[in-house]
Amino acid sequence: MIYLDHAATTPLDGEVLELYIRELKEDYGNPSSTYRLGKKASRKLRQAREDIAGIFGLGDRNIYFTSGATESNNWALWSQSLAHRRAFGQDEIVTTSLEHSAVVKTLDYLKTLGFKVIEVAPRDGNIQVQDFLDATNEKTCGWICMAVNNETGSILPVTQLGQEAKDRNIYFHIDGVQAMALEEVDLKSTYYTSLTCSGHKVYGPKGMGFLATKNLKAPLMAYHRGGSQEFNLRAGTVDVPGAQALAKALEIAYTRRQEDQAHCQALKEACIQGLSQGGLDFAVNHLAQESPKILNLWIKGVPAQELLMKLDMEDIYVSAGSACSAGALGPSRVIESIYPQDPDRGLESIRLSFGRENTLEEIDQLVQALVKA
């Protein structure tokens, strides 16, 4: 098997898996319980929260454990949007045309509540900060921009946007899923009001993520009601082993990020070189700056669905640069937004995303499979 879809999900890191299993077996207490087993779980939960907060230069009360980035994005966006409308009368949101569906669908919901959403498309090779400024007025409540696009790996200007958002009475939300442990994106010093992460994208467990907040203009609203967990804002028993595993996965990711990036960059360059030497008619889909971990390719004249089927038959797993709806691949909204002049590009693009366990030999096999396809 050759797995090249790490932007979709990653295998559990071995050290993380050992920790996760041990904690599931040994320390299964409810952290809200008052007896010793519960207090022990509570201490471990607090330590995991502090460990994650430390990576991003935050206090532990700025980290809220969630089921993943989808929940975190939902929570951050509707909470801040509703709070800003209530406090300041603002009901317009500026975002990019490249956002993940977890953001897009949440904004669709906010539209039904009377919010106006303005999308900024790429121009001159990137999302332009000036376009955000031009779309902003006294009714604007927030800006939204993912740090790294999940389809193309394009790095978006969140640091510059954060600087501009800082002095305005608006929130700034960053979907940070694909930017974790990426040297080109300094999430520790970047200004934002909310940031999201999903554990299974950094060799951690599925069903575990966090929402980080700082510089909030209005208090975060409760996600749902019940117990007093997560500082009275997200009721329900917290998955302590999952929180510990997430903290460990992030610690490992940030410790070895230079090594991981160099490895992925070598794989990426080998893939492009191999396809060029093989005579394949292709182009790379990306904006001005890109992550070494993702490579999006337009294989000209070949539908992505056809390529995925052929690669699947050879036990090679990649994804399309498009979303799956009712079992059929449609054109990628992201690719169409970047390349509006190429109507077929969104249907003929695939995404490769590299990981720690991939090898140059696997890339050679992928190249051979693509050339003969």
Residue 328 has pLDDT above 80, yes or no: no
Are both 169 and 309 inside the same structural domain? no
- Residue 9 within any structural domain of the chain: no
Q: Give the chain's end-to-end CA distance (angstroms, integer).
A: 18
Angle at 299 between CA 319 and CA 340, to 5 degrees: 90
Q: In what order do the strands lie in the sheet with 116-120?
A: 63-66, 209-213, 194-198, 171-175, 140-144, 92-96, 116-120
Residue at a domain's end among 234, 255, 276: 255
Tell me phi and psi for residue 211, to 5 degrees: -115, 125
Q: How many domains does the chain have?
A: 2
H-only helix segments in 228-286: 229-232, 240-255, 257-277
Are both 113 and 141 inside the same structural domain? yes
Residues 196 and 254: their CA atoms lie apart, in Å, by 16
Q: What is the mean pLDDT of residues 280-297?
A: 96
Q: Which residues 6+ apart lie within 8 Å of 54 measured at CB?
A: none
Q: How do the residues of the chain divide into helix, strand and coil, expressed in percent and rounded to 5?
A: 45, 20, 40
Going by pLDDT thresholds of 50, 70 and 90, the confidence category of residue 322 is: very low
Are both 250 and 260 inside the same structural domain? no
- pLDDT reported for residue 324: 42
pTM of the model: 0.95
Residue at a domain's end among 255, 285, 300: 255
Residue 10 has pLDDT above 50, yes or no: yes
Residue at a domain's end among 255, 281, 304: 255
Are both 290 and 300 inside the same structural domain? yes
Q: Which two tokens stand for residue 147?
A: 């740090």
- Residue 152 within any structural domain of the chain: yes
- pLDDT reported for residue 326: 37
Residue 357 has pLDDT above 60, yes or no: yes
- pLDDT reported for residue 44: 96
Going by pLDDT thresholds of 50, 70 and 90, the confidence category of residue 5 is: very high
- pLDDT reported for residue 136: 98
Amino acid at 348: E
Q: Which two tokens stand for residue 287?
A: 């904006």
- pLDDT reported for residue 26: 87
Residue 325 has pLDDT above 60, yes or no: no
State the CB neighbour count (10 A cutoff) for residue 13.
20
Are both 162 and 248 inside the same structural domain? yes
Respond yes or no: is residue 324 known to be catalytic.
yes
- Residue 6 within any structural domain of the chain: no
- Residue 5 within any structural domain of the chain: no
Residues 151 and 99: their CA atoms lie apart, in Å, by 10
Q: What is the mean pLDDT of residues 211-234?
A: 91
To the nearest 10 degrees (0 to 180), the angle between helices 257-277 and 360-372 is 30
Are both 151 and 171 inside the same structural domain? yes
Are both 136 and 278 inside the same structural domain? no
**The domain that contains 128 carries what CATH number?**
3.40.640.10
The domain of 101 spans 14-255
Are both 248 and 260 inside the same structural domain? no
- State the catalytic residue, choosing from 141, 145, 264, 324: 324
Residue 329 has pLDDT above 80, yes or no: no
